[in-house]
């Protein structure tokens, strides 16, 4: 039994003695001056050029067409509304037309005053209207 414990002790010491140099090799500290880039400015100080990843050309073309169609629809709708307003004024009697025009002017002026009062609350616009 003593032979078995002696062999275990010898194997343990051999394994331990071989593992200590490996551990020491990993624990070596590098001096601050020898680190690469220690005296250089950080990467955040240098400006990197950002590149955009571009998708397929067909996808760009489809998106352009969709945007163009959207703009066209908005323009047509605005034109339609304007024509409808003109038509609704045109079919009225002259007295009603005058009243409608006056109402539109009043509502525009109220809207401008409301917008001005709302914008004076902000810091930038507050300086503008002093």
Which of 122, 73, 82, 123 is closest to 104 using CA atoms? 82
pLDDT at residue number 105: 95
Band of pLDDT at residue 23, cut at 50, 70 and 90: low
Band of pLDDT at residue 92, cut at 50, 70 and 90: very high
Average pLDDT, the chain: 80
Band of pLDDT at residue 46, cut at 50, 70 and 90: low
d(CA 47, CA 89): 60
Contact 38, 32 (CB under 8 A): yes
Which of 109, 85, 111 is closest to 97 using CA atoms? 85
- How many angstroms from the chain centroid is the CA of residue 67? 21
pLDDT at residue number 83: 95
Tell me the CA distances in angstroms from 104 to 32, 54, 87, 110, 128, one per residue in order: 76, 49, 15, 10, 27
Contact 129, 116 (CB under 8 A): yes
Band of pLDDT at residue 67, cut at 50, 70 and 90: very high
DSSP letter at 5? H
Token pair, residue 17, equals: 């003695």
Band of pLDDT at residue 72, cut at 50, 70 and 90: very high
d(CA 113, CA 91): 31
Q: What percent of the chain has pLDDT over 90?
A: 38
The secondary structure of 39-61 as a DSSP string is SSPPTTTSPPPP-PPP--HHHHH
């Amino acid at each position: 039994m003593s032979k078995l414990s002696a062999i275990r002790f010898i194997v343990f010491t051999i394994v331990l003695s071989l593992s200590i140099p490996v551990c020491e090799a990993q624990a070596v500290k590098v001096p601050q001056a020898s680190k690469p880039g220690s005296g250089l400015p950080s990467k955040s100080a240098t400006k990197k050029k950002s590149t955009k990843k571009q998708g397929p050309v067909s996808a760009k073309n489809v998106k352009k067409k969709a945007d163009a169609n959207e703009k066209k629809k908005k323009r047509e709708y605005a034109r339609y509304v304007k024509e409808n307003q003109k038509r609704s004024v045109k079919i009225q009697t002259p007295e009603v037309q005058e009243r409608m025009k006056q109402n539109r002017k009043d509502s525009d002026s109220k809207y401008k005053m409301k917008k001005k009062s709302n914008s004076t609350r902000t810091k930038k616009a507050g300086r503008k209207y002093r």
